[in-house]
Structure 1
Amino acid sequence: MGQSRSCIGPQVILVGLDSAGKSTLLARLLTGQVVETSPTIGFNVGTLVLDKKTSLTVWDVGGQSSMRPNWKFYLDDCKALVFVVDSSDRGRMAEAQKALKKVLSEEKLRRVPLMVLANKKDLPNSLTIREVSTQLNLHSYSDRLWEIQACSALKGLGLQQAFLSVHKLIKKS
């Protein structure tokens, strides 16, 4: 019976602007299904099993501007930050860059690795990884382990690989 603790993996916090696709992404990872989501008030949480020995507890925290000041309350045992950005929404990249910079300035995240997921890559005019990286000013985070990957929560593309990479980042840090 003492096995239940091993199911609870390191905590990963999923943040990003509203409508970036965080809840769709988490639901797709956990169920394999596309689920109708509505704006997250508060949070969703689930355990993502990567393989027999590896799981992550993923917290999806609401991204509306009124919710962003609450992000810091979810960071206590955070082992990796996953920042989800809508790579098709060029008009909100500056806002995303500000939100990312603000959350990364939290003391609790000082040594925590970052995974940026450029979501919605299935949409025709989505930015490339390089463009997203430049717009978010990722090169300025030279003191932090970080990675960026493209994905599509809707199509399920790149999600499993991204979270396997998150697990590797956690082990490295």
Structure 2
Amino acid sequence: MGVTFSQVWARLFSSKEVKLLILGLDAAGKTTILYKITTGEVVAAAATVGSNHEVYTYKNMKLGLIDIAGQSSHRQSWSQYFQATSGVILVIDSTDRARMDLVRQELLKMMSDENLKDALLLVYANKQDLPNAMSPSEVSTGLNLTSLKDRDWQIFGASALKGAGLFEGLDWLVGKLAE
């Protein structure tokens, strides 16, 4: 009886810890999303050099969020963070049509990494509040997300500045991680 009660108590009141990477090309809005989620504020951010780390508890799950710089010189080091990652949050600048092919190449490269074989993929089609932004459907097509057959993924339209779509995406991610 005591063991069963302890297990139920642990499930109800302890939080599971997971590591999530926030990745994407430079200027996609990764850092803005990180701080909008964790502080509720839009924080003035310069280009990230290296990474930003925050721990945020959401729906009884402790999220270790790591926002990694997206400039080409930093993308080479992304794989150093892949081990023990439960999910990748890929942030796309929905107005940057010219670099969609580059984003797709980077996505396919990271998703083929053995350390991410079980990682969930949450895609934020960011900057939906701007004119000429591609819809989430257009971003999904541009990234060829349907080719990721053996992976749980979801795409959400988002605006880092307004907070739109961010918590809907986290709801999906945390729900899948809790399964």
Same fold judged by TM-score > 0.5? yes
Query: Match for residue 146 of structure 2?
Result: 139
Residue among 38, 41, 50 paired with 1:42: 50
Query: Match for residue 3 of structure 1?
Result: none
State the distance in 1 between where 2:129 and 2:144 align. Answer: 23
- Find the residue that maps to 1:44 and give its secondary structure: strand
Query: Match for residue 124 of structure 1?
Result: 131
The within-5 A match list for 1:18-167 is 18-51=26-59, 53-167=60-174
* CA shift digits 1:128-157 (9 cap, x unpaired): 111000000101101111111111101111
Q: CA deviation at 1:8?
A: 6.9
State the distance in 1 between where 2:36 and 2:23 align. Answer: 16
Q: CA deviation at 1:169?
A: 2.4
Answering whether residue 53 of structure 2 is matched by residue 10 of structure 1, we say no
Instruction: State the superposition RMSD in angstroms.
Output: 1.5
Q: CA deviation at 1:7?
A: 5.8
State the distance in 2 between where 1:19 and 1:99 align. Answer: 15
State whether residues 8 and 57 of structure 1, in contact with CA within 8 Å, keep that contact through their aligned partners in structure 2.
no
What letter matches 1:38 in structure 2?
A
Q: Where do 5+ consecutive residues of structure 1 fail to align?
A: 1-5
State the distance in 1 between where 2:116 and 2:55 align. Answer: 21
What TM-score do the two structures reach when normalised by structure 2? Answer: 0.89
Query: Match for residue 5 of structure 2?
Result: none
Q: CA deviation at 1:9?
A: 2.2
- Find the residue that maps to 2:137 and give its secondary structure: helix
Aligned length: 167
What letter matches 1:48 in structure 2?
Y
State the distance in 1 between where 2:65 and 2:158 align. Answer: 17
Q: Percent identity?
A: 39
What letter matches 1:140 in structure 2?
S
State whether residues 8 and 47 of structure 1, in contact with CA within 8 Å, keep that contact through their aligned partners in structure 2.
no
- Find the residue that maps to 1:38 and give its secondary structure: coil
What TM-score do the two structures reach when normalised by structure 1? Answer: 0.92
State whether residues 16 and 61 of structure 2, in contact with CA within 8 Å, keep that contact through their aligned partners in structure 1.
no
Question: Which structure has the larger Rg?
Answer: 2
State whether residues 96 and 136 of structure 1, in contact with CA within 8 Å, keep that contact through their aligned partners in structure 2.
yes
Q: Where do 5+ consecutive residues of structure 2 fail to align?
A: 1-13
Query: Match for residue 171 of structure 1?
Result: 178
